[in-house]
Structure 1
Amino acid sequence: MENWGLFAVAVFTGFIAINNPLGNMPVFLGLTRHRDKATKRQISKKATFTAFTIVAGFIILGKYIFDFFGLTIPAFKITGGILVFFVGFEMIRAQQSSIDNQTEVNFNEGISVSPLAIPILAGPGTIVTAMNFTTNADYLQLIIILIMFAIVMWLNHLAFISSDYMVRLIGENKIVVIEKIMGLIIAIIGTNMLIQGIHIAFLE
């Protein structure tokens, strides 16, 4: 039981480091700016549930998915890095991103899945982290990994639905500044993923 507890702590720490709810909150704020509380809650629920479903699939079937499609970790990191960079670039360059100019239906359906679920919540880093934990894991450990990731997604949901409070606390103008800064950070993270993928592919 003690080993299971230590394993659970290690898994939770790994997921929370790569998928920090407080770090993801400004991204959510930037993508859902000017939307009402009910819409934000709807987007948050769909994004976190979609991300959990995707990562759960990789936790259970990840090795077979990679083998079946002939996927490699370097290609996964390079593609994910490009996607993450594009999200950050969009946040930096526009007063109101092209995503934010969509209709209500497209907006809800669109950003819940991409970019929130993929690649922000269920990005290459998160999926690779999950697959690392599943290496040689038994059935009980797989359940622990699923539970820990579900808790991390729940914490992200709480952070997202608290975003209105953050707007009132910080102020709309400062939120815009934070959005631009987070856009830069996200673009750098995407570039770093790209560099890591190239490094693994050609130098290791």
Structure 2
Amino acid sequence: MSNLANHVLVMAGGYFAIMNPIANAAIFTSLTAGMDARVARRIALRSVATAFAIVLAFILLGKLVFEFFGITLPALRVAGGIMVFLIGYHMLHGRPSAVHAAPEGMDDGADSIAVSPLGIPILAGPGTIAVSMSYSATSDLLQIGVNALVFLALCAVTYLCFRLGERVENRIGASGLRVTTQLMGLILAVIGVQMGIDGVLGAVDLYLHPAGG
């Protein structure tokens, strides 16, 4: 039981570090600025549900998917990095990206934000997927089940952080929110660049030291 408890703590710590729900709550607040509270709640719930569904799929089937399509983790990092950088670039320059372009009703726009960028790649990004797959590498059913439950708990924590993040908008006002949005855009752009660099370095290492070589 002690070993299981330690394993759960290691998993929870790894997921918390990768998902960083506290910092991502500020990004969520910036992306949902000016939206109706009910819409923001729906986005928060759908984003964590999307992240959980994606990561659960990789926990159960990740190795098979990567092998079947010939996908490498470095390729996933590069593609995700480009996506995150472009979103951050538009936020940094005060121009709405595609996720901000929906009209006031925002039904389609809200769904789009919940899935991307919040669900993937911000919450269920290459790092989160890599961690989830490594925790289930032994294919032990108990380990897979614990892995899924721990990630579900982290998704619940992230949802709570997103919900509390709504208070930030009411406290800092329009000008403060504008500055926050640009700052979050800079952070997203840097995260995207770092993801891309990690992907390129991973690809170089993969070709210099192939698994079968």
Taking structure 2 as the reference length, the TM-score comes to: 0.91
Match of 1:112 in 2: 114
**Equivalents in 1 of 2:95, 2:193: separation in Å?**
22
**Equivalents in 2 of 1:53, 1:157: separation in Å?**
15
Match of 2:153 in 1: 151
Give yes or no for the alignment of 1:194 onto 2:196.
Answer: yes
* Deviation at residue 168 of structure 1 after TM alignment: 2.4
In structure 2, the residue corresponding to 1:102 is in which secondary structure? coil
Amino acid at match of 2:148: L
Aligned pair partner of 1:173 in 156, 172, 175: 175
Alignment of 1:131-146 (within 5 A): 131-146=133-148
Is residue 74–residue 196 contact of structure 1 (8 Å, CA) maintained in 2? yes
Structure 2 runs not aligned, ≥5 long = 209-213
In structure 2, the residue corresponding to 1:111 is in which secondary structure? helix
**Equivalents in 2 of 1:195, 1:95: separation in Å?**
25
Name whichever of 188-197 and 130-139 sits farther off.
130-139
Structure 1 runs not aligned, ≥5 long = none
In structure 2, the residue corresponding to 1:99 is in which secondary structure? helix
In structure 1, the residue corresponding to 2:99 is in which secondary structure? coil
Is residue 30–residue 184 contact of structure 2 (8 Å, CA) maintained in 1? no
Match of 2:84 in 1: 84
Match of 2:211 in 1: none
Match of 2:124 in 1: 122
* Deviation at residue 98 of structure 1 after TM alignment: 3.8
Cα shift readout 1:165-204 (whole Å, capped 9, x = no counterpart): 1222333322221221121111111111111111111245
Cα shift readout 1:90-133 (whole Å, capped 9, x = no counterpart): 21122544422213121122111111101111111111111111
Amino acid at match of 1:139: L
* Deviation at residue 137 of structure 1 after TM alignment: 4.5
Aligned length: 204
Identity level (%): 37
Is residue 55–residue 129 contact of structure 2 (8 Å, CA) maintained in 1? yes
CA separation of 1:9/1:137 partners in 2, compared to 1, >3 Å: closer, same or farther?
Answer: farther
Alignment of 1:9-24 (within 5 A): 9-24=9-24
**Equivalents in 1 of 2:75, 2:166: separation in Å?**
37
**Equivalents in 1 of 2:144, 2:174: separation in Å?**
42
Is residue 4–residue 141 contact of structure 1 (8 Å, CA) maintained in 2? no
Is residue 29–residue 168 contact of structure 2 (8 Å, CA) maintained in 1? no
Match of 1:55 in 2: 55
Amino acid at match of 1:141: Q
Taking structure 1 as the reference length, the TM-score comes to: 0.94
Match of 2:164 in 1: 162
**Equivalents in 1 of 2:140, 2:119: separation in Å?**
27
Is residue 80–residue 123 contact of structure 1 (8 Å, CA) maintained in 2? yes
Give the CA RMSD over aligned residues.
1.4
* Deviation at residue 62 of structure 1 after TM alignment: 0.5
